Amino acid sequence: MSKRIADIPKLERPREKLQQKGPRALSDLELLAILLGSGTKSHDVMTLAGRILKVLDKGNAEPGVKDLQEIDGVGPAKATLIAAALEFARRRIRPEGFKIAFPPDVLPLIQNYADRKQEHFICISLNGANEVINTRVVSVGLVNKTQVHPREVFADPITDRASAVIVAHNHPAGGLIPSKEDIAVTRRLKDAGETLGIKLLDHIIFNHKGYYSFLETGEL
């Protein structure tokens, strides 16, 4: 549950924190709160930002104004503002064409998921020149065989005509060492990729402190 602005020490509030430490020090939640500016009579801005963030994390496509207005507490003005901000960011900072020399180079594209309370399983599609085609959240929740099925992971890369993929997921708590499920999922995806002709280049586990690469440890 998000804290209300009034409950946060003044120097740790989003606007003050950005002024003191710069935008990169803020979480996605805090950045969204600044964009929104204020909440409503019945919804604190941090709660509202949290609801919007959940929608942004779940979908592969950017939500439109109508989709945003379906979120409790989001009216036409705030929905328009968020939609405009997303489009502006897409035009100015496009991950498409970003070349990957080594799999961990994708970390800047996914590091914003490190502060999520749930595990987010992400798939990065690459073309034959190892350039990023797209970055998508495949599932939210614990990484297991049910949620991270090859058909879900490779559905969009097939449409992208990708030559390879890098998958990654955050570890909200604990260390970076892969679980038995992480290892099993990686093997399953590697086998499926070989069948489809889309190579699995790496599976990266990450948090705020660092990352674990299946490729670097010789497990892929």
pLDDT in tens, 27-58: 888 888 998 888 777 788 888 888 888 888 76
Its CATH architecture, for the domain 103-213, is: 3-Layer(aba) Sandwich (3.40)
The pLDDT value recorded for residue 156 is 92
* Contact (Cβ atoms closer than 8 angstroms) between residue 197 and residue 128: no
What does DSSP assign to residue 138? Answer: E
Residue with tokens 């945003």: 68
User: For 145-155, what is the mean pLDDT?
Assistant: 83
Q: How many CB atoms lie within 10 A of CB 191?
A: 12
- The pTM assigned to this predicted structure is 0.70
Buried b (16+ CB within 10 A) or exposed e, 123-162: bbbbbeebebbbbbbbbbeebbeebbbbeebbebbeebeb
Q: How many Å apart are CA 111 and CA 120, to the nearest integer?
A: 11
User: For 62-85, what is the mean pLDDT?
Assistant: 87
Sign of CA dihedral 17, 21, 27, 33: positive
The pLDDT value recorded for residue 29 is 87
